[in-house]
């Protein structure tokens, strides 16, 4: 059936239900069937958890699958809807963007029923699933190219009340970093759209190489902490241990806090995430490789800050981001 996105399950039905969100086919591909899990235990928070928006960020889908295993026992009230994979073609291709139309699902919200496949996915989610929730956790990863601490993130929101609620929700994950993240490339993001609909929307981000058991445990603990804060499950929230530390800090980063490479070459990181640095401290070294007569270039911190992300040792282009700095948030 082409044309109309639909659900094969009734999200209002009590108890556990499993089914699919069917995204209509089009000229570019057949219809897509996205597995959906619903657990309705009546009054309480209404939470939507999504993963696999970007196909090369796989912690989220794994954590979402784990939740589906233990939530039926643990959830005491409210409603949880889980879609582990929002973008199946991208996950199958291990690609950030959808390989069929080259679009980034997280830049096309609220989507379009007549658009290409990525826009049709966004449209189906916007119309059929998002209205069922008052809170959304979208599980992402920072990816292989970066070292990034486990973090719950949100962008600045014009509505002060929603901003405060969203930051409180993000802090409830008790991950090492809660990040208020200003960047310029936000039109069409899932969170921007959800915020415009008055939803509390928090992204979880996670970085550093391949999917590992330690990282997954921290990620899952963070989501569990947030479920406890929403009173969907009982238990005591605990700070997960990350690199021998058991702590949490709320930071903000602006577009201007991104450090760029001054030239093409291999970037050598000289700091670690969560390092507290002074103005002038060495962040990394850029080694030009085209000519050995050009010296290596030090990249230094412009201000006192906390290292929030640092690019893995890799070849970068001129003006490519190599680090993100942040500072404790001031209200």
Q: Which residues of the shown chain bind Zn ion in the complex (CB under 5 A)?
A: 54, 57, 140
Whole-number minimum distance, CB 75 to Zn ion, in Å? 26
CB of 167 to Zn ion, least distance (A): 20
Six-digit token string for 284: 């990394």
Tell me whether residue 211 or residue 297 sits nearer to Zn ion (CB atom). 211
Residue closer to Zn ion by CB (options 26, 150) is 150
Instruction: Please say whether the beta carbons of 57 and 210 come within 8 A.
Output: no
Strands 32-41 and 15-23: antiparallel
Least distance to Zn ion from the beta carbon of 61, Å? 12
Please name the residue that has the structure tokens 């800090």. Answer: 249
The residue count of the chain comes to: 331
Nearer to Zn ion, 90 or 218 (CB): 90
- Output the six-digit token pair for 129: 């699933």
What is the nearest approach in angstroms of Zn ion to the Cβ of residue 170? 16
Q: Which is nearer to Zn ion, 141 or 166 (CB)?
A: 141
CB 110 → Zn ion: shortest distance, Å?
Answer: 18
157, two tokens: 């929101």
What sign does the CA torsion over 51, 57, 59, 65 have?
positive
Q: Give the residue with the Cβ less far from Zn ion, 140 or 199.
A: 140
Nearest to Zn ion by Cβ — which residue? 140
**Do 177 and 309 touch, CB atoms closer than 8 A?**
no
* DSSP per-residue string spanning 32-64: EEEEEEEEEESSS-EEEEEE-SSTT--HHHHHH
From residue 180, give the alpha-carbon distance in Å to each of 157, 214, 239, 254.
Answer: 10, 25, 19, 9
Q: How far is the CB of 195 from Zn ion (least distance, A)?
A: 17
Q: For residues 78 and 208, which CB has a smaller minimum distance to Zn ion in the complex?
A: 208
């Amino acid at each position: 059936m082409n044309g109309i996105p639909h659900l094969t399950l009734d999200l209002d039905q009590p108890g556990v239900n499993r089914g699919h969100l069917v995204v209509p086919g089009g000229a570019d591909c057949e219809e897509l069937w996205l597995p959906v899990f619903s657990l309705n235990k009546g009054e309480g928070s209404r939470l939507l958890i999504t993963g696999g928006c970007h196909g090369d960020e796989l912690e989220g889908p794994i954590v979402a699958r784990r939740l589906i295993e233990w939530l039926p026992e643990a959830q005491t009230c409210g409603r949880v809807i889980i879609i582990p994979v929002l973008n199946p073609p991208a996950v199958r291709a291990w690609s950030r963007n959808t390989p069929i139309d080259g679009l980034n699902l997280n830049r096309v919200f609220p989507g379009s029923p007549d658009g290409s496949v990525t826009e049709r996915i966004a449209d189906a989610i916007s119309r059929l699933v998002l209205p069922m929730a008052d809170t959304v956790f979208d599980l992402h990863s920072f990816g292989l190219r970066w070292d990034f601490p486990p973090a719950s993130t949100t962008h600045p929101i014009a509505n002060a009340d929603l901003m405060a609620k969203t930051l409180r929700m993000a802090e409830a994950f008790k991950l090492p970093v809660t990040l208020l993240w200003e960047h310029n490339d936000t039109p069409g993001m899932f969170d921007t759209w959800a915020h415009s609909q008055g939803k509390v929307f928090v992204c979880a981000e996670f970085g550093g190489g391949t999917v590992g058991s330690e990282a997954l445990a921290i990620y899952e603990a963070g989501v569990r902490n947030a479920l406890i804060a929403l009173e969907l499950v009982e238990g005591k929230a605990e700070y997960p241990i990350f690199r021998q530390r058991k702590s949490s800090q709320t930071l903000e980063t602006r577009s201007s806090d991104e450090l760029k490479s001054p030239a093409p070459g291999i970037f050598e990181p000289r700091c670690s995430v969560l390092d507290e640095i002074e103005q002038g401290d060495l962040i990394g070294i850029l080694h030009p490789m085209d000519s050995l007569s050009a010296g290596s270039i030090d990249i230094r911190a412009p201000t006192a800050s906390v290292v929030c992300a640092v690019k893995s040792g890799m070849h970068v282009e001129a003006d490519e981001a190599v680090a993100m700095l942040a500072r404790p948030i001031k209200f």
